[in-house]
Amino acid sequence: MEDGSSDDSAAPSSTTISRHVFEDDAGESVFTISIIENMEEDYGLYVWPCSIILAEYIWQQKTRFSGANVVELGAGTSLPGLVAAKLGANVTLTDDANRVEVLDNIRRVCDLNKLNCNVIGLTWGVWDTSIFNLRSTIIIGADVLYENSAFDDLFSTVAFLLQSSPGSVFITTYHNRSGHHLIEFLMVKWGLKCEKLVDGFALMPSHKASNLSGNIQLAEIVLNCDPVKETSLVK
């Protein structure tokens, strides 16, 4: 799955290139995505386990992603978005507009894999012009729910993007560290609901799962269009 080998020809010093193989049902390699990582640097320059699980889910849902308009939030090294692009999706990869080194690395990784993606700075909870032009059928985000103080900003951006494209869905993988209470509360607050919740490890081939650890969930979140139930206080 990932060999973590060094390849100085394509990446600046102090970086490594990991290779992520996607296989057919017979276990034959179909394609490989190469990712430039830098362990000494930022959160966004490392392939987090949530990203490996989301990338595998996208690969398994290939017909759904082919031709879709996909936006990845907090893309970091962008493995899930690159798999979507490989499957024929039109992909926009985004990360914090202030993290220039992460955005530069995303562009390098696209070039390395010869994949043509749009790369833009998109900071959660900030309403720059770039966000108003995005029309995504599928929004993805791996390990973007890791810092409680940023959850509200992330959910405000997700709610905005879902409202901009009726019928769209947000697919995210996250470490379930303290139960779903905060995520459930924020979904209600932002008018969202969870349509599907699966154990991330359950969808992984066993040889890939054995390299990962944690309690990782995959959720599909949509706008909640159910009518609000009115409760009468006056009897």
Phi, psi of 218 (to 5 degrees): -115, 125
- Contact residues toward ligand SAM (CB under 6 A) are 43-44, 47-48, 50-51, 74-77, 95-96, 99, 102, 123-124, 142-144, 146, 150, 153
User: What Å distances lie between residue 200 and 17, 35, 178, CA to CA?
Assistant: 24, 21, 16
Of 54 and 169, the one with the shorter C-beta distance to ligand SAM is 54
Of 175 and 180, the one with the shorter C-beta distance to ligand SAM is 175
- The SS3 call for residue 229 is coil
Of 95 and 168, the one with the shorter C-beta distance to ligand SAM is 95
Residue 143 near residue 50 (C-beta atoms within 8 A): yes
Minimum CB distance to ligand SAM, residue 136 (Å): 15
Minimum CB distance to ligand SAM, residue 228 (Å): 30
Of 53 and 68, the one with the shorter C-beta distance to ligand SAM is 53
CA end-to-end span of the chain:
62
Region of 208 on the Ramachandran plot (φ > 0 left; ψ -120 to 50 alpha; else beta): alpha
Minimum CB distance to ligand SAM, residue 139 (Å): 13
